[in-house]
Amino acid sequence: MRSISLFFRSVAKSLILISSLSIAAISVVHAQDAGAGAAIFKQKCTSCHAIGSVVIGPALKGVNDRHDQAWLLKWIKNAPAMMASGDPKAKALFKQYKPAVMTAFPELSDNDIKGILAYIKAEGDKPAASANSTATDASTGGKSGDVSDFMLAGLIAVIIIAFLVILVLNRVISTLERILLQKQGLAEEKEVEEGDKDRFAGLKKLSKNKKFIFFVVLLAIIFLGSVGWMGMWETDIHQGYQPVQPIKFSHQLHAGINKIDCQYCHTGAYKSKNASIPSLNVCMNCHNYVQATDKYNGEISPEIQKIYRALDYDPKTKQYGPNTKPVEWIRIHNLPDFAYFNHSQHVGVAGVKCQKCHGPIETMPEVYQYSPLTMKWCINCHKETEVNHKGNAYYDKLIAAHEQLKKGQKMTAAVLGGIECGKCHY
Amino acid sequence: MESNKKYWKGLEELQNTKEFVELNKHEFAEPLPIEEVLNEAGLSTITPRRDFLKALGFGLGAVTLAACQPAPIHKSIPYLIKPEDVVPGIPNYYTSTFNGHSILVKTREGRPIKIEGNPNCLLSKGRLSARGQASVLDLYDVSRLKDPMYNNNSTTWGEIDQFVKAELNKIQAGGKKIRIVSSTVNSPSTKSVITDFIAQYPNTKHVQVDAVSYTGIIKANENSFGKAVLPRYHFDKADLIVSFAADFLGTWISPVEFNRQYASNRNNTSLKNKKMSRHIQFESGMSLTGSNADTRIPLKPSEEGIALINLYNALGGNLSGGKKLTNNPNADKAITLAALELSKAKGRAVVVCGSNDVSMQILVNAINSLIGSYGTTIDLDNPSYQYAGNDAEFVEFINEMNRGEVDAVFFLNSNPAYNYVNAKEFTDALSKVKLRVSFADRQDETASLCQVIAPNHHYLESWGDANAFENYYTIVQPTINPVYNSRNAEQGLLIWSDNAVKDYYQYIQNNWTKNIFSRSNTTWKDLLQTGSVYLGEKPAGTYSFTKDLNAVAQTIVNESNALAKGGDNAVELHIYENVAIGDGKAANNPWLQELPDPVTKVTWDNFVAIAPKYAEKLGIGEFDLIEVKTGKYKITLPVLIQPGQAIGTVSIAVGYGRTKAGQAGSDVGKNAYPFINFLNGTFQTVSSATISKAGGSYELAQTQTHHSIEGRNIIRETTLKDYLKDPSSGTGHRHENKFDLWNEYDHPGHNWVMAIDLNACTGCGACVVACNAENNIPVVGRDEVRRRREMHWIRIDRYYSFNENGKSITKEKELKHLDNMDNVSVVYQPMLCQHCDHAPCETVCPVLATVHSSEGLNHMAYNRCIGTRYCANNCPYKVRRFNWFNYWNDSRFDNYMNNEFTQLVLNPDVTTRSRGVMEKCSMCIQRIQAGKLQAKMEKRPLKDGDVKVACQQTCPTNAIIFGDGNDPNSEVAQALKSERTYYVLEEINTKPGIGYQTKVRNTVEV
């Protein structure tokens, strides 16, 4: 059940993705040089500028109106030189935004710059409301899966069972009535039945075949039993668990597209038991200026704003306030009770890749539990995985001692005692 | 797939009402009627078939539905801004100070969870006492005040400051006296703050008084040598120790240090050099120290002084008042013997006395001078500052209050309403004082009589320092933000005295820079890393005693006569401090309350200890309630029959009977402080009393009697004489098994084993509390201990033996039939899971919940255990513990785990076990795994000493050694090679992983 709906969900998602991409593509065609400018803008400008708001440098909305194009071309190519030459406009800008100095971009051609300016113009002209409406759409869309699959399935099952019960009861009633009538010697209706006899003859005959009934019942019991048995084994396994998180953080964007190393945020993975969710100061290293304003019509992304709200940070004044509120993430990977797991042993010592347990995390817009996290799953891996002992002096003696006992065998974690109870349960 | 929606069953759950939360904690709304079911027809009632099927069907349905639960929602909340040094999952260690001992505080995610001794500490050398181990729990004590109090109402610090300052100004103008009453303060910064306070308010005086006083020794040294100090004792330099009722291994002055020194002359290393100290103890009650002595002589308090005079005379003195102890010929013999031995061991011996009587201590000084102890075993030039109370000054303070001369009093770490000899006199006098301020962290007996309570920080929350002995300075640094709204007492004094430096942290830094850093090459940062500064030892001078002793002897004789004059109906009452609870300051600590007293194994109560023969004579049985009465006070307590107690004496411990200690410690036992007398300028712990049956009985919760040894030969001991002839004497013959039912286990990697030296173990109990803290062991309370359900993974078994005329008896039940039980000797044996290679528990577990590892450990998988308890039944060592309740989620066990504050002390690397599973010592497997992981990450082999188990780490005498038996150079492998090694119940071929080394007694035949 779960996997089917998972499949549907992913299909729906890709459909939405495809359609939104095509819409975007159509609008891009509309202004070609603005499109090329957009790419350069994102690459070169966004670390200091946004369209609608002041970041490090000024907001760029309406820059085409404030300055003439010739001045802008010169300024963007080599701002420090202009300031040195004593240009009054340049001096005024520097005064306003010091100590930040506009970087020189001698590598940009005039056409490139014109593209950027066209893009800024196009972006600046967009109505501000559209960003908000898309944001609300997204949030309502996220709540669609409210009635859980389990409840639906249960309801359907109950209806089916009720229907079956009614059928059986009907049948029993009619049989009883017939027997009653037969006893009273009233067999008039027999002739009426004769007419239908031909149609259900085969079925009726079969239903009187005790061997056949036994076979059907046996099959049903085996089928239901094994379904139940399999279901029981799935108890408390939450593979695919994907709770709604307080911030829609996308690993696909951060780890996949931007290729940020896992360790940059999950600092504990190599040295501690916990990989640990990064504290917000780690987020702020980038999101101090990365505000995705281009996607939200000059506004700061609502998800990034959540970081600011939690820290009580005002992006305009760049001041931190006292009313902080921690972000309450929902834990996805819940290990069974009484089990000890240490990230550093697996990631640091054994060199296991994050993806081995967490799946293709760099492609997940929202994280879900990839592995079953059952003991069987742990043990299987311990039985198959060879110990990463090369160049680690800790293992030298240990391997030598085991080598004597288990000549030629693969030196897996299990051989070194990795499947003993007390290694994980204490 | 599941959404994170919250489901609820009813409104009370939605609103989370108090009743609901409370009811939810219980699995059943009311206690199970097990008793009724068992007593009545219960099990023989007939269940009709239909009912049975109904129940079965319902059960199946319920289980099926319960299994369909959605994924649980666990919140994961990271730091907003993570402190740079904190990595979740990795502990941080900070240096600090407990009672003058430098310690290391282990913190996880910012909360202290365990305390270890600091290897740099000159007193403890990295070891720690039971009380030190337990002190971390006090930090989270819910009985502590949440806010400052003014007239029993919560208030703010601003209002307190305003009020106290205004009052102080008025008092200053009025010219009446101000008093600061504290227990011993040896912190240089606190002292300096008080001096500054006195400078601001010149009518102030600082009165120091200790609940258990050492004024006698200090006064005696002033009298004898002109030095009013508590000397430092060096038991490690003493080949012969003669102690008169000084419990120096249990409670006297500096027990952790003394344990280490004492064991250094009795452990494996010392024995290999064919050397062992000799220890003779004279005492009335059986103390921890007495139970470790080579020769122990029961002696009444009234005979103690006379015995000292006799000893002095036997060493060549000539004092009147000495006489034959006609009622105690053994003591007479022993005194002669001791004198003989002392004169042979001049310069290598020490005589100590536990009395607080100045005269007796002067006489002890004279004896020590005769045997040349000064400059060798006793050091007067590098004195100890651990106790500095002055009893007479405190009594004078009460007189001042009574005369109406005192207008303001501040109580710092002091609780006279509980521990003063006459609480009513104190309370009445206190009511005449206008401004009463207490710095107590809870509303204790004294604080509840004060207008203002300005709760002091716990030491783990505060800055501070200590100076335990000459030139040894240690730092107290905070390891957590204050748990409650408390404040440093010193901070208050600084504010109230308008000090130029308002911040105590700054004040300490200034003070250290001025007075200590200027004399050493250290900086503040060095100090925080190492925890202490030692400015070097001064040369210890030799002192000889020259004063006239006749007046002293006369006082001693008079006191002795006064004690003895009660006649036949009277008994001599001896008040003592026990190892766990001490003076009662930490009475609200459930770990300490449940730590069995080393000798009697009693938990959660004090009692009247009485000799078996004497009890028989008086017709008193064990646990009978008796009334003990002196001229001014009486209490009713249960009796404990104590072999080795001097005939005609009873002993009662102080530290109990607190009325306002808090949830765990209030109304436990009875207060014995009022029995103490103020006599000749000091508080004296002995008096003459009468005892009478009060009717009824009261069962004490003892742990030792829970297991029977079935007469098996578990303890092995020998004498030094035999040991020198044959080092393996006393170990019994080794059992060589020719055949074996089981296959051998391979231990190709590590082989974790342990060696326990019975000759080094003094039985102090530090390991038990260390294990509690490390392994999240529940506290079960008095009733459950009575039901034999204590959960300690390591226990210290105390075995009595009897040696006279070649007759030796080891069975406890036989002891009752012996006529004379004065001469019992005691052996302590730490008993924990032996991690047998052929473990009997493993073979009987039907679900394979306890299995053997390739590293020689016996693993216990809690989630497999179904609680058949076969393993406990089959364990010959009786070390398995069963969880009868969910101790962490049951309001009947409210004193420790089942509380959101005290839960913070739990070790996150060890699970809390749920009801119905078995548990036992895991050899601190979490530490083994952590040690191995550290080595793997650093890509180096595991070194000996990388992994230390909790009991080993804290043991003051290094009696417990743990390590890899496969490493021939490891400390443990070396220790197990000792000829003294034997294995408990070796003959049943369990192949235990723990080897014990025989107890050796340095007995001398008279």
CB B688 within 8 A of CB B630: yes
CB count within 10 Å of CB B298 equals: 27
Q: Which residue of A has its CA nearest to B69?
A: A236
Q: Looking at the complex, does the CB of residue A155 fall below 8 Å from at least one CB of chain B?
A: no
Beta-carbon separation of A273 and B89 below 8 A? yes
Half-sphere exposure of A107 (CA within 13 A, CB side): 4
Residue A327, in any domain of the structure = yes
- What is the percent of chain A with per-residue pLDDT over 70, rounded to a whole number? 80
Same domain, A171 and A96: no
Q: Which residues of A touch B4 (CB under 8 A)?
A: 243-244, 330
Residue A95, in any domain of the structure = yes
Report, as an integer, the average pLDDT of A271-277. 89
pLDDT, position B410: 93
- d(C-alpha B266, C-alpha B999), whole Å: 10
Beta-carbon separation of B80 and A324 below 8 A? yes
Cα dist. A351→A256, A275, A346, B468, B725 in Å? 20, 14, 6, 50, 58
Same domain, A162 and A14: yes
- Amino acid found at B435: L
Tokens of A282: 């780690």
A162 backbone dihedrals φ, ψ, rounded to 5°: -60, -45
Tokens of A6: 């998972």
Beta-carbon separation of A149 and B935 below 8 A? no
Cα dist. B513→B409, B434, B505, B520 in Å? 31, 38, 12, 10
Same domain, A6 and A127: no
Three-state DSSP at A217 gives helix
Q: Which residues of A touch B89 (CB under 8 A)?
A: 268, 272-274, 276, 342
Beta-carbon separation of A394 and B87 below 8 A? no
Q: Which residue of B has its CA nearest to A341?
A: B909
Q: Looking at the complex, does the CB of residue A307 fall below 8 Å from at least one CB of chain B?
A: no
CA angle B220, B224, B226 (to 5 degrees): 95
Beta-carbon separation of B861 and A425 below 8 A? yes
pLDDT, position B476: 94
pLDDT, position B235: 93
Residue A406, in any domain of the structure = yes
β partners of residue B230: B384
Same domain, A333 and A308: yes
- d(C-alpha A339, C-alpha B863), whole Å: 9
Pick from A94, A113, A140: which residue ends a domain? Answer: A140
Q: Which residues of A touch B939 (CB under 8 A)?
A: 391-394
Beta-carbon separation of A426 and B76 below 8 A? no
Residue A33, in any domain of the structure = no
pLDDT, position A139: 37
Buried b (16+ CB within 10 A) or exposed e, A206-240: eeeeeeeeeeeeeeeeeeeeeeeeeeeeeeebbbb
Beta-carbon separation of A334 and B77 below 8 A? no
Q: Which residue of A has its CA nearest to B746?
A: A405
Mark the ranges of chain B whose per-residue pLDDT is less than 50.
1-15, 27-30, 805-818, 1006
Chains A and B: how many Cβ contacts under 8 Å? 183
Same domain, A195 and A344: no
- Amino acid found at B560: S
Same domain, A378 and A260: yes
Can you tell me the ipTM of this complex?
0.81
Residue A29, in any domain of the structure = no
- From A372's Cα to the closest Cα of chain B, the distance in A is 13
Same domain, A280 and A325: yes
Q: Is the pLDDT of residue A28 over 50?
A: no
Report, as an integer, the average pLDDT of A327-353. 90
Closest by CA to A120, choosing from A76, A157, A85, is A76
In this predicted model, what pLDDT tens digit does every residue of A355-394 receive, in sequence order? 999 999 999 999 999 998 888 999 999 999 888 888 888 8
- Helix B391-402 and helix B423-430: axis angle, to 10°? 50
Same domain, A337 and A285: yes
Beta-carbon separation of A278 and B78 below 8 A? yes
Mean pLDDT of chain A: 79
- d(C-alpha B701, C-alpha B709), whole Å: 19
Report, as an integer, the average pLDDT of A391-414. 79
pTM of the entire structure?
0.81
HEC-encoded secondary structure of B585-606: CCCCCHHHHHCCCCCCCEECCC
In this predicted model, what pLDDT tens digit does every residue of A154-203 receive, in sequence order? 888 888 888 888 888 888 888 888 888 888 776 555 554 555 556 777 78
Same domain, A258 and A370: yes
Instruction: Give B488: exposed, middle or buried? Use CB within 10 Å, 0-12, 13-18, 19+.
Output: buried
Q: Which residue of A has its CA nearest to B914?
A: A338
Cα dist. B443→A241, B151, B433, B665 in Å? 50, 11, 19, 13
DSSP for residue B556: H
Beta-carbon separation of A417 and B855 below 8 A? yes
- d(C-alpha A300, C-alpha B285), whole Å: 78
- d(C-alpha B195, C-alpha B186), whole Å: 13
Q: Which residues of B touch A279 (CB under 8 A)?
A: 78-82
- d(C-alpha A327, C-alpha B703), whole Å: 48
CATH (domain of A56): 1.10.760.10
Distance of CA A358 to the CA centre of its chain: 12
Q: Is the pLDDT of residue A99 over 80?
A: no
Which of A1, A265, A346, A394 is the best mutation test for B, with the most CBs of B within 10 A? A394
Same domain, A274 and A353: yes
Q: Which residue of A has its CA nearest to B86?
A: A268
Q: Looking at the complex, does the CB of residue A398 fall below 8 Å from at least one CB of chain B?
A: yes
Residue A361, in any domain of the structure = yes
Residue A308, in any domain of the structure = yes
Beta-carbon separation of B90 and A279 below 8 A? no
Beta-carbon separation of A334 and B922 below 8 A? no
Same domain, A165 and A290: no
Which of B69, B79, B80, B109 is the best mutation test for A, with the most CBs of A within 10 A? B80
- From B90's Cα to the closest Cα of chain A, the distance in A is 6
Pick from A120, A140, A160: which residue ends a domain? Answer: A140
- d(C-alpha B91, C-alpha A223), whole Å: 53
Residue positions counted in chain B: 1006
Pick from A140, A175, A198: which residue ends a domain? Answer: A140
Closest by CA to B571, choosing from B647, B481, B493, B684, is B647
Q: Looking at the complex, does the CB of residue A278 fall below 8 Å from at least one CB of chain B?
A: yes
Beta-carbon separation of B851 and A146 below 8 A? no
- From B911's Cα to the closest Cα of chain A, the distance in A is 6
CB B465 within 8 A of CB B508: yes
Tokens of B205: 């005086």
CB-based contacts of B948, cutoff 8 Å, min separation 6? B927, B962
Q: Which residues of A touch B61 (CB under 8 A)?
A: none
Q: Based on the structure, what is the number of domains in chain A?
A: 4
Q: Which residue of A has its CA nearest to B74?
A: A331
Three-state DSSP at A286 gives helix
Same domain, A153 and A13: yes
State the residue range of the domain holding A54. 47-140
pLDDT, position B747: 85
pLDDT, position B31: 53
Residue A37, in any domain of the structure = no
Listed range (A292-296, A341-345, B333-337, B569-573) with the worst mean pLDDT: A292-296
In this predicted model, what pLDDT tens digit does every residue of B482-491 receive, in sequence order? 989 999 999 9
